[in-house]
Chains A and B, each alone.
Chain A
Amino acid sequence: MADVELRGLTKRFGSTVAVDNVTMHVEDGAFVVLLGPTGAGKTTTLRLISGLEMPDDGDVLIRGRSVVGDAPAQRNVAMVFQQYSLYPHMTVRENLSFPLRSPVLRTPDDEIDRKVRSVAEVLHISDKLGNKATELSGGEMQRVSIGRALVRSPNIYLMDEPLSSLDAKLRAELRVELKRIQAGLGATFLYVTHDQIEAMTMATHVGVLELGSLVQFGPPREIYERPVSLYVAGRLGSPRINGLPAGLFPGSPAGARTIGLRPENIVIGGGGREGRVVRAEHLGDQTRLHLSLDGHPIVTLTDPHAAHKAGDRITICPVNPLYFDATGARIT
């Protein structure tokens, strides 16, 4: 495994700046998740590292050495895509051994066999090795395509939304599995997603991208608790953070334009301002209350059997609010 460094990495497509002067260090053994909405530059960043795209500016270093001049194959990175592309006429075993059979690698047969079996075991597909790729379920196919990356010992694994085409249950399962595999191998992962749960649960570090720029980089807890901007604050947390005018509650510091209030950081019924319940959603483990306060929608959480219903009036008071200035930057 290796560390990867991006220095002032920039990529333009016509007049669009897809990746804008990104500097980031993915340490050896880190699980870095790049998070951002469609068009933020996540996938382009991966493609620049793998060599599928050439940067207009800046550098990519693997183990401290610039690889910008290297062809994709020379960079020794493994990529997993959202859409699993297996060879349908091959068995799982053949699909998994394929990357090792490259004439450049000259891997001996017994070593191929050993690697394939150990990867299959890690991914719980040992009993499927003899199956044709077409005889697998979607989850199994995606595990095989992850396995095809794992049989190699690349410098870094680059994963582009590998779980997004799977159903919720499988996604939750593979999330834990991938994290376990990464930690077990001590592998370096750079993982792209727009799913904030994946980012929070798997990452050692999250990089938040906004219009091609890296706006914050840090452990998930830091991104969640101390976002640098309202944009970053809105990336993590479900339901999303409430953005409210600074004057709505007393106590805003000078220069504050917006109060950022996470749904769980609101006390109900202990004084404060009075709002109207628009709708109560009983989700089982919690109740989500949609409130209206001076015409501003606010979402808050309360206990699962709360009796609040539409039309009720309740008082709410912020706890530990975040404040943002007119540009969206956090001030306290």
Chain B
Amino acid sequence: MAEILVRNLRKEFGDFTAVESSSFKVEDGEFFMLLGPSGCGKTTTLRMIAGLELPTSGDILIDGEDVSQKRASARDIAFVFQMFALYPHMNVRRNIAYPLVSQGMPRSQVREKVAETARILGIEEMLDAPVRGLSGGDRQRVALGRAIVRNPKCFLMDEPLGALDAEFRERMAGELRALHDRIGATTVYVTHDQLEAMQMGDRIVVMNHGIIEQFGTPRDIYDSPATQFVAGFIGSPPMNFMEFEGSVAAGDTEVEMLGRRFAVPAAREGFAGDMAFGVRPEHVRISDEGALRGEIVATEYLGTTQIVILNTALGELKARIPSDRHAAAGTSVGLGFDGATVTLFDKRSGLALRSELNAGDSGDG
């Protein structure tokens, strides 16, 4: 098993900088997520860890050994791709055995390893089946089997569930995480799906335009986003932003918007200028005493909860409330916010203003 240290990693393709000076550490046995929209540099980062791309500068250390300029085959990692490429003319057993056979491992040992892998994945009964007729999920299990069987130092996964439909993805996500909990191998996993990252990851790196915006536990990232980008990328629906011009001084527990005062966590730094007041949908309260008024534009039923979309003098807002509460389009309502959960952002830089709640840190190590 392995610890992976990434130091000032940078990758340029011609004039384009895909990854800008990234640093983070993946602890031994951790399930680590690289999250961001397409083009953010997450896959390039993963490919550099794998050795499929060489960095322009910076280091990658696996268990303390500098592997930055080593070939992929010398790194003892296993890569699982989104499009699982199985050998169509071989059965499941031979597909899983292939990496071992090509290493020249004795037959009896290969048999044993394949049997053990199949047991871990719960695919023992399909070992002799051709891969051609398998379902998407089973094919992905076989692809995983081929990665696990080598017992590598770590697993690198590039959107391995991206090609599956929603229902199946949720099941496979659970299975993958359970598999990780059983074998405990360090895993670096790339996804653009924030829910998948929150669900499966021990820690998450959020990337945008080649830059690490934040890294931390799912809870840190959700409750204390370091930047407006992170706050707007995480959560479904994501954080609401009300833009205003105002000021805040260190120690303040309120901020003024449209001439009214709203509670915020005690500020740890002062700021004046264009700001955004960030509040998550579940912390917006609909009540007649609210300091801000809004008109209900639409509602989205989600089972036990519903999303209420509101128009206010400070822009559109979404609130999450129980679905048994009546909310009719066209109604004017009062709005309040749970002040303890609010993050203020400097609109120009996009950075969170430091407060009692939010240290404005982009990472914890």
Interface residues of A (CB under 8 A from B): 37-38, 167-169, 172, 175-176, 179-180, 194-197, 200-201, 220-221, 224, 236-240, 262, 264, 278-279, 281-285, 288, 290, 304-305, 310
Contact = CB atoms under 8 A, between A and B. Distances in A.
Most buried by A among B38, B234, B298, B303: B303
Contacts of A220: 301
Most buried by A among B174, B218, B234, B309: B174
A281 B304 contact: no
B300 A201 contact: yes
A282 B301 contact: no
Given A179-B298, A197-B302, A283 B198 contact: yes
- Determine chain B's interface SS by DSSP, over half rule: mixed
Contacts of B167: 37, 194, 240
A238 B174 contact: no
A167 B219 contact: no
Nearest to A283: B198
B166 interface: yes
A282 B193 contact: no
A229 B268 CA distance: 55
Given A194-B165, A281-B199, A283-B198, 8 more contacts: A168-B236, A175-B300, A176-B309, A201-B301, A262-B304, A282-B219, A282-B222, A285-B280
Nearest to A224: B303
B251 to A, nearest CB: 25
B181 A279 contact: yes
B270 interface: no
The 4 A-B pairs at the shortest CB distance, nearest first, are namely A284-B222, A201-B300, A282-B219, A264-B304
A161 to B, nearest CB: 11
B37 A172 contact: no
12 contacts: A169-B238, A175-B300, A176-B298, A196-B166, A236-B303, A238-B303, A262-B304, A264-B303, A281-B218, A282-B218, A284-B222, A284-B223
Interface in B297-313: 298, 300-304, 307, 309
Nearest to B193: A168
B119 interface: no
Given A37-B165, A283-B199, A284-B222, A180 B298 contact: yes
B193 to A, nearest CB: 7
Contacts of B166: 194-196
Nearest to A297: B174
B181 A238 contact: no
A194 B164 CA distance: 12
Interface string B190-212: 00111100111000000000000
Contact of B219 (A196, A240, A284): A284
B66 interface: no
Given A167-B192, A201-B301, A283 B218 contact: yes
A200 B165 contact: no
Contacts of B237: 172
A284 B235 CA distance: 7
